[in-house]
Amino acid sequence: METSLKEFKERFSEGLFEIHWKQWSALGVASHVEPEMNWFIDLEALVLSTLVLGLKDARLLNASIEWLIKNGEWLNRLRLKRIAKLFMRPPAKSSSQFGPLLDSVAFKLLDKTLREKYDQEALSVGGLRSQEAETSDYEVLFNKFQIRGIVTQPVLQSPSLLQLRLRWVFGVGARVEVITYLLSHKNGNSNAMAKEVFYDQKSIYRILEKWHKAGLLTKVKGPKIGAFTLERKEEWLNTLGLKGMPIYLNWVSVFHLLNQVLRALSLRPWSEDEYMLSSFFKDILEEAQGLGRSLGISFPEPHQYPGADYFSPFTLKVLEIIEYLKKGQEGLSQSNPPK
């Protein structure tokens, strides 16, 4: 089975935008798609990925800005800035010519919006002017922003909004990311958690030690030094009013990978050349394999497909991932559950 470049562009782009709309719909944005009910939603990852996609879907960006103005207290701005550094980091290898996924002007405009979200004058034309000599495309979008009344309060009883539900209980901070990690993983240590949730290792370590002393965590015996497991997970879920955990994914890694693919599909000469795209896919293969493993999807080894022959095998796996992310549990085969 093969896929053409044109078909891949259409299916990938449509699927990626649908995934974002589903998550914003679950958060309370009125949209044409059903809200996400299966996957765990990571607010900071979603905000940054939406910002990256904003130049291609202004309506999506406008909806996210309106949501943040209305519900900005839910956002962990410290974590947002830490994750933004990944999205603003220049890529390596052949894709270095793409530039970073997110430019500093866009993030500054978002940060200004968050700082002044209660000041309507700050959102008027000219209120979000950057310090750049020329007006950027993002500045035009932010200055055109208008509140349309399409945002309602999130329904915190939805399993996919576990992060927001926990923030209502524990506040906006590292504790929420730690408890989410422990609820969705068998165990973990401070190093692994810090990398996953974008917090410094010392802060995570202090939380784990305090919870261990309080009897909430048990130290794991074995080769994993400093690993902890959360006891009585079912009781935690019952207390939170949940019958089970939403499907957990590292959405920072997911969105970072998928936005790189979209960038390649949007820039010439990559966007018109299967050979150059195949070379790019080999550059991001390790990242793609990491996501694939979490979904039970195996990416083909490039040495089996010389030159442009790698295009179809790789893109078919990417489309398989897109379908899984769109459909949640229904899109996952029984033989390939998320890990």
Of 151, 195, 2, 167, the closest CA to residue 76 belongs to: 167
SS3 assignment for the chain: CCCCHHHHHHHHHHHHHHHHHHHHHHCCECCCCCCCCCECCCHHHHHHHHHHHCCCCHHHHHHHHHHHHHHHHHCCHHHHHHHHHHHCCCCCHHHHHHCCCCCHHHHHHHHHHHHCCCCHHHHCCCCCCCCCCCCCHHHHHHHCCCCCCCECCCCCCCHHHHHHHHHHHHCCCHHHHHHHHHHHCCCECHHHHHHHHCCCHHHHHHHHHHHHHCCCEEECCCCCCCCEEECCHHHHHHHCCCCCCCECCCHHHHHHHHHHHHHHHHCCCHHHCHHHHHHHHHHCHHHHHHHHHHHCCCCCCHHHCCHHHHHHHHHHHHHHHHHHHHHHHHHCCCCCCCC
Q: How many CB atoms lie under 10 A from the CB of residue 155?
A: 14
Domain match, 233 and 163 both: yes
In whole angstroms, what separates CA 10 from the centre of its chain?
21
Q: What is the dihedral of CA 109, 115, 117, 122, to 10 degrees?
A: -60
163 and 223, same structural domain? yes
For residues 8 and 312, is the Cβ–Cβ distance under 8 A? no
Task: Supply the pLDDT for residue 6.
Answer: 94
Answer yes or no: is 168 within a domain. Answer: yes
- Number of domains within the chain: 2
On whether residue 3 sits in a domain, the answer given is: no
Same-domain pairing of 235 and 283: no
Does 273 lie in the same domain as 223? no
In a domain, 294, yes or no: yes
Question: What tokens appear for 114 in the block?
Answer: 């968050």
CA-nearest of 30, 35, 53 to 328 is 35
Give pLDDT, residue 129.
Answer: 46
Of 239, 259, 285, the residue that ends a domain is 239
| Dihedral over Cα of 257, 306, 313, 14: its sign | positive
- 81 inside domain: no
Residue 183's CATH number: 1.10.10.10
The tokens for 299 are 């990416």
Nearest to 159 by CA among 178, 180, 173: 180
Q: What is the CA radius of gyration of the chain?
A: 21
pLDDT tens sequence across 251-268: 999 999 999 999 999 988
CB 79 within 8 A of CB 34: no
List the structure tokens of 20.
């974002």
- pLDDT per residue, tens digit, the chain (339 aa), is 788 999 999 999 999 999 999 999 999 999 989 999 999 999 999 999 999 999 999 999 999 999 999 998 999 999 999 999 999 987 766 555 677 888 888 888 888 888 776 454 444 434 444 444 456 888 888 988 889 999 999 998 899 999 999 999 899 999 999 999 999 999 999 999 999 999 999 999 999 999 999 999 999 876 666 899 998 888 888 888 887 789 999 999 999 999 999 999 998 888 899 999 999 999 999 999 999 999 999 999 998 898 899 999 999 999 999 999 998 755 444 334 444
Per the domain annotation, does 216 fall within a domain?
A: yes
222, 282: one domain: no
Give a yes or no: residue 94 inside a domain.
Answer: no
Q: In angstroms, what CA-CA distances link 294 with 100, 116, 290, 324?
A: 25, 38, 7, 11
Q: Give the CA dihedral 312, 313, 319, 320, nearest 10 degrees.
A: 150
Residue from 249, 263, 258 nearest 293 by CA: 249
- Which residues form the domain of 223? 159-239
Distance CA 209, CA 239 (A): 23
Considering the domain boundaries, does residue 231 fall inside one?
yes
In a domain, 99, yes or no: no
